[in-house]
Structure 1
Amino acid sequence: MNGPMARYLDGSETGRLHLQYGPIDLIIGVDGPRATPKHIRHAQQCAWNRFQTILPELVDELPLLRSPATPHEPGARGSTARRMVEAVRPFAANYFITPMAAVAGAVADEVLAAIRLGFSPDDCPERIFVNNGGDIAFHLSGEVEFSVGIAQDDGEGLGRFRVTASEPMRGIATSGRGGRSLSLGIADSVTALADDAASADAAATIIANAVDLPGHPSIRRAPASSVKDDSDLGDLPVVIDVAPLPADEIARALDRGQEMAEHLIDRGLISRAALFLQGAHRIAAPHPAPFPMTARLEMRPHA
């Protein structure tokens, strides 16, 4: 495996920064009225300094991070690993989940935290984002907002989530059959908004697992270990193929996922979620909103 690498995506050292190390692939953006070239370069240096150490730290704790979570998980040593453990802990009593379900979001949170620590509160750029393969941690202040597109595996856009600085959400993550990990459910994708990216990552995994039709003959499953040698899911049956489903069965599967998403909203674990399956979608949101809600999903109608 090659060591950590960095490059600029926009042809300028004040543009977006791309960091890659093994399976970790980050895109970092910094902007806003206070984001001078000096501020941006400083933020990038803070990100690079922390980024170089994250993967070795996680590798050192892989046995713990690949083990099923429990409500009283043994303490992890590294700060990124601790974020992973804490993100999955709320689900451990009732669902199968390992800390690896939150790894992408936790890495994004950790790098964002390192950037923010490099500034005083009054000097920090208004908008910073760390995108780890679609699981995103972001900082907002002042009048800025954050907008992220949601797309299918083939690149077709499905809509956009928008969040303003006045709202508490600072993490967004997507899980499902179209993602980088294996899934116990049949959702094409589930995108969740939460207070941080690790929490959104874990919650999106749980919701995506809930979008399912157990025992359905059109769904093919196989032991996770036969699909991916080092899967933290062991021999659990993961979905490997889903034939086209009739509309009523799609609705039934999405109902199960929406019920789970609304349960997590009621528990305060996420703020909202968008669920997608074979051209259909559901939106889960609090009723009523606990704060002035401008975070929303702008949907693009299906043809």
Structure 2
Amino acid sequence: MIAARISADRLHLQHGPIDLIIGVDGDREAAFAAAEARFSTILEELVAELPLLRKPMPVAPRGHVAQRMARAAAGYRDFVTPMAAVAGAVADEVLTAIRTQTRPERAYVNNGGDIAVFLAKGQTFNVGIAGLDAAALGNVTLRSGDGIGGIATSGQGGRSLSLGIAQSVTVLADCAAVADAAATLIANRVDLPDHPAITRERADRLDPDSDLGDRMVVTGCGPLGAKDKRRALENGARLAQDLQAQGRIKAAYLLLQGESRVIGIEELAHA
């Protein structure tokens, strides 16, 4: 495990595939110690239940992080495994450890772009929304009363395989695990089945350990016409709107080849 300060107010933790950047305003030394202590066992806990976590919902894992993953992935009609929420759940768990041991004014745990956030009363946090290619797409100011504790981005070309063609889908929710699972499923819905511009391959041929098994994942998408882009985005936007209406997410930003759909972000801006 690697634990290193990368600036006066940021800590880098890395263990296997998990890579965190943590920032805290408040009792920073105690917060970083709490984060490092909790992080030190997370990978082993997840590996112990990995076969179960790669199975479709519903499953009932035992570990704290695994349970966060399962809760975030529960209740969907679409195919999903707890792995859809793993990055967000790890971020949530480390942030909870910080909050249990200290009383930060602001804190965040960034797990490869899936971020758990805490804001004490009266605090704000400026968030830059970026695509999976790191291109800036806009900014949102989070306020302590917004009820947002997690931000996650998914899409074709990201760290994980995708069933859809979205360049990126960014979701804001009450925790990072919920945002992570929702972003994955919304991104999967941004799709045009059987379109000739889209290439696909079996997930298990690209990654024998993929939780998607023999499902066909997108490996490329050529230029699409305006109508096709709108149709694909609307497929994802309908799910995002349903999840917002259910109170499951706060907002979402969907991007495909220069076209976008925004759900709820304007409401946050004027809250």
Give the TM-score category using the shorter length. Answer: over 0.9
User: Is residue 7 from structure 1 mapped to residue 4 from structure 2 by the alignment?
Assistant: yes
Which of 25, 44, 66 matches 1:81?
66
Which of 47, 61, 75 matches 1:90?
75
User: Is residue 27 from structure 1 mapped to residue 21 from structure 2 by the alignment?
Assistant: yes
More helix by percentage: 2
User: In 2, Cα distance between the equivalents of 1:160 and 1:180?
Assistant: 23
Instruction: Provide the residue aligned with 1:300 in structure 2.
Output: none
Structure 1, unpaired ranges of 5+: 297-303
Structure 2, unpaired ranges of 5+: none
Q: Deviations over 1:167-204 (max 9, x none)?
A: 11101100101321000000000000111000000000
Instruction: Provide the residue aligned with 1:143 in structure 2.
Output: 122
Q: How does 1:247-286 map to 2 (within 5 A)?
A: 247-285=226-264
Check whether the contact 2:252–2:265 (CA below 8 A) recurs between aligned residues: no
The alpha carbon displacement at 1:295 in A equals 7.3
Check whether the contact 1:262–1:286 (CA below 8 A) recurs between aligned residues: no
TM-score (norm 1): 0.86
User: In 1, Cα distance between the equivalents of 2:145 and 2:71?
Assistant: 25
Closer, same or farther: CA 295–76 of 1 in aligned 2, 3 Å:
farther
The alpha carbon displacement at 1:286 in A equals 8.6
User: Is residue 229 from structure 1 mapped to residue 208 from structure 2 by the alignment?
Assistant: yes
Which of 224, 230, 241 matches 2:220?
241
User: In 1, Cα distance between the equivalents of 2:54 and 2:30?
Assistant: 34
User: In 1, Cα distance between the equivalents of 2:263 and 2:50?
Assistant: 33
Query: Percent identity, aligned pairs only?
Result: 54
- Aligned AA for 2:167? D
Which of 157, 166, 174 matches 1:187?
166
User: Is residue 104 from structure 1 mapped to residue 101 from structure 2 by the alignment?
Assistant: no
User: In 2, Cα distance between the equivalents of 1:155 and 1:197?
Assistant: 19
Check whether the contact 1:274–1:283 (CA below 8 A) recurs between aligned residues: yes
User: In 2, Cα distance between the equivalents of 1:48 and 1:154?
Assistant: 29
RMSD value over aligned CA atoms? 1.5
Instruction: Provide the residue aligned with 1:17 in structure 2.
Output: 11
User: In 1, Cα distance between the equivalents of 2:238 and 2:170?
Assistant: 15
Q: Deviations over 1:195-221 (max 9, x none)?
A: 100000000011000100011000000
TM-score (norm 2): 0.96
User: In 2, Cα distance between the equivalents of 1:153 and 1:138?
Assistant: 20
Closer, same or farther: CA 153–294 of 1 in aligned 2, 3 Å:
closer
Q: Deviations over 1:89-112 (max 9, x none)?
A: 121xx1100000000000000000
